[in-house]
Each structure stands twice: as C-alpha cells, then as structure tokens.
Amino acid sequence: MKKQRPKVLREHFEQSEDERLASYAVKSGESRGRVFKEPEHVFRTAFQRDRDRIVYSTAFRRLEYKTQVFVNHEGDHYRTRLTHTVEMTLIARTVGRALRLNEDLIEAVALAHDLGHGPFGHAGEAALARLMKDHGGFEHNQQCLRLVEELEESYSNFPGLNLTSEVREGLKKHDHSQVRSLEADVVDVADSIAYNCHDLDDGLRAGLLDLETTRSSISIWNHILGDIERKYRSLPQNIKIKTAIRFMMNQLVMDLIEQTEQNIKKFKIHSCKDAASHKGHLASFSPPFSGLMRELKQFLQVNLYEHYRVVRMTEKGQRFIQEIFEVYVDKPKQLPPQVLERKKKYGLERCVCDYIAGMTDRFALDERQRLFSPYERV
Ligand code: MG
C-alpha cells in the first residue's frame, strides 16, 4: 500500500505557533524535549502528543471512578475527578486562548493535573500521607509525576509516558526554583475556578448547602443571584442556580484574563524565560476578586467539606485505606505478583502506597470486601 503523507505536517503547526502565539507563550518547536530521545511525530506537535499519551493512560481512565468531593457511589450527577478534570481543562484553555498562550501545553498539563489522586479524594491523600510518614510521604502532585515518569506501563522502550519537560514541570506545584510557564500558572488558577464553582453547585444539588445560607455568606454569589432575579423573573430554582454558577464562572474567568494581561504588562514579560524567572504568580485575580474567591473557598471549607455527611464519607474512606494498607504490609503475599514485584525496586511500603493510590473508589471498596468479608470471593 502506498504510504500517505499528511498534508499538514508538524512543522506547519510549529510555524503557526510562532505566528499566532504571544512572545511569552511556550512554543512546541522549542521544547527542551524528553528524557528518552524519540523521533518527533509526523503531524502532531510535542505537546499534542503528550496530551494524547495522558488521555490513553490507565491512570486517566481511573479518574472516572475517583472522588472529587462525593464518593463515587453517592450519585450519578456529582462531579468525579474525571468530569472535574474536563471542566477545568475547558476553563484553562479558554483563558490560555484569550492570552495567546500554548493551548496544547495547557491541555496536556490540565488533563494530567489530578492523576496522582488516590481513592476518596483528599481524605485518601491524608490517609496515605499519614501511613507513609516514615517512608518518604505521599502527596498527590508528586504521585502524579511518579505516574507519568515511572509507573505507567505502556511503552517498550521507556517507563512512564516520557512526556516533555515542559509538561512535567507544569505538573509540579509552584516552586520558585523550578522553571515554570505562564501556561502552568493558568492551569492552577483554572483549577480553583472549576472546583469552587462546581462544588458549590454539587453541594446545593445534594442538599448539603442551603441556598439562603449561601446567599448570606458569599457576597459574589448573592450579587449574581440578585442580578439574575432582576433580569429573569420567576425562574425555577434549579435553573436559577445553574444560571448563577455560569455567570459566576464567567466573571471569574474574565477577571483572571484581564488581571493576568495587566500583570504581563506591569512585569514586562516578553518571553517565556521572563515568565519562568518571575517571582510569584503571573496568572491571578484582581485584588477584589481574590477576596471574593477566598470568601467562597472558606465557606465551602466550613459548610461543605466539613459537613457531617461529607466527613462521614471521607472518614470511612480513610479507615478503609488504613485497613487495606496494614493488611498488605503485614502479609505482602496477598498483593498481586506484578505489584509485589515492585517491592525490590521501591521497598514494601512504597509499592503498597503506589498500588492503593492507583485504586478507584470502587476498586478500593471491593478490595476491602475481598480482604475482610469471609463470604466474598477473593
Ligand atoms: Mg483539580
């Protein structure tokens, strides 16, 4: 069969980035490359290729059954880690496009940003951090890097996904000793817009938050609801909430774009090197919106994340993780052989921690049954 060459080659996209993107955007043609050398792809840029590798990874598919706030089986309409990831990627790309940043790099970092979360959300992370205290600790951003650099098994000639250094750096939490792009900075703030807005939405939907209390406690929310009530009279409550969430996201995104543009001007950011060497976040809200976001975040902390029903879910999750962890460490032969195999390289506790961190809520619940329930098949 005659080999077909695509008409639009990688070089075309690289050139179009040079023409379209801002001077401070990261260009895929100037990537610092991968740890294991590979030939470039014919028609995908380096960052497009990274994005695809992330979506095809096992860790990415597991996001579907991992907790955002609500444990997976609580209901079908709440956000999961996967839908959170998709929503925040949309926000990050919108902001990146408006600022003429590299959307492919943003998309890759955004899609991967939560891969390191274990089952049961932040409660699961806290449990693993406690259990691993004397064995090197556990933190989801570090685990995300570990996954893409070592644990994913898909390629014959290297461990992990062999992503470009720009994507891997974007997955590290801000640390001023690191080279960091504006693209990665945008992903961080987009994450906070996504979870603050959808957690408020899910909390109201679940009946854990009450509309009147949210109004009297969150000023931006109250203001937006007031506007909507003046504009559209007698909207059913569920439509009113959805409309208000949309309006709020829109205002936050607009403020973020405008303030970040101002920061870029103010700090004379002309190249991605200027952005990387800048101390502090270039992507940020204006001072009034930072205050509004803080208020929203604190409200959710006290009223949603510490709601007795959420605490019950998360405490259960923590307890299960601890039980599974201890049982494996006590009798490692209960671990599947391919998991136990990694003990030689990483030590027992780390290999158990990696195994549990990879579990979805669903798998962890089933596994606990298999380990503890006498009637369950193993
Ligand atoms: Mg996130």
3-state secondary structure the chain: CCCCCCCCCHHHHHHHHHHHCCCCCCCHHHCCCCCCCCCCCCCCCHHHHHHHHHHCCHHHHHHHHCECCCCHHHCCCCCEHHHHHHHHHHHHHHHHHHCCCCHHHHHHHHHHCCCCCCCCHHHHHHHHHHHCHHHCCCCHHHHHHHHHHHHCCCCCCCCCCCCCHHHHHHCCCCCCCCCCCHHHHHHHHHHHHHHHHHHHHHHHHCCCCCHHHHHHHCHHHHHHHHHHHHHCCCCCHHHHHHHHHHHHHHHHHHHHHHHHHHHHHHCCCCCHHHHHHCCCCCCCCCHHHHHHHHHHHHHHHHHHHCCHHHHHHHHHHHHHHHHHHHHHHHCHHHCCHHHHCCHHHHCHHHHHHHHHHHCCHHHHHHHHHHHHCCCCCC
Ligand 1 centroid–CA 254 distance in Å is: 20
- Where does the pLDDT of residue 92 fall: very low under 50, low under 70, confident under 90, or very high at 90 and above? very high
Domain assignment present for residue 75? The answer is yes
Ligand 1 centroid–CA 226 distance in Å is: 29
Ligand 1 centroid–CA 360 distance in Å is: 16
pLDDT in tens, 325-347: 999 999 999 999 999 999 999 99
Q: What are phi and psi of 53, to 5 degrees?
A: -60, -40
Average pLDDT over residues 101-130: 95
pLDDT in tens, 155-175: 999 999 999 999 999 999 755
Ligand 1 centroid–CA 190 distance in Å is: 9
Domain assignment present for residue 31? The answer is no
What CATH number did the domain enclosing 306 receive?
Answer: 1.10.3210.10
- Does position 357 have pLDDT exceeding 60, yes or no? yes
- Does position 176 have pLDDT exceeding 60, yes or no? no
Domain assignment present for residue 27? The answer is no
Tell me, what's the pLDDT at 174?
57
Tell me, what's the pLDDT at 177?
58
What mean pLDDT is reported for the chain? 93
Q: What are phi and psi of 13, to 5 degrees?
A: -65, -40
Ligand 1 centroid–CA 91 distance in Å is: 12
**Structural domain harbouring 168:** 44-372
Region for 303 from its dihedrals, namely left if φ exceeds 0, alpha if ψ lies in -120 to 50, beta otherwise: alpha
Number of domains in the chain: 1
Average pLDDT over residues 72-92: 89
Tell me, what's the pLDDT at 8?
78
- Where does the pLDDT of residue 115 fall: very low under 50, low under 70, confident under 90, or very high at 90 and above? very high
pLDDT in tens, 187-198: 999 999 999 999
Ligand 1 centroid–CA 195 distance in Å is: 7
Tell me, what's the pLDDT at 78?
87
Domain assignment present for residue 52? The answer is yes
Instruction: List residues, by chain if needed, whose CB lies under 5 Å from ion ligand 1.
Output: 114, 191
Domain assignment present for residue 37? The answer is no
Ligand 1 centroid–CA 42 distance in Å is: 32
Ligand 1 centroid–CA 170 distance in Å is: 13
- Does position 256 have pLDDT exceeding 60, yes or no? yes
Q: Give 221 or 1, the one with higher predicted confidence.
A: 221
Ligand 1 centroid–CA 275 distance in Å is: 23
Ligand 1 centroid–CA 192 distance in Å is: 7
Ligand 1 centroid–CA 187 distance in Å is: 9
Average pLDDT over residues 344-351: 96
Ligand 1 centroid–CA 366 distance in Å is: 25
Domain assignment present for residue 116? The answer is yes
Domain assignment present for residue 196? The answer is yes
- Does position 352 have pLDDT exceeding 70, yes or no? yes
The answer to whether the pTM exceeds 0.75 is: yes
- Does position 308 have pLDDT exceeding 60, yes or no? yes
Domain assignment present for residue 20? The answer is no
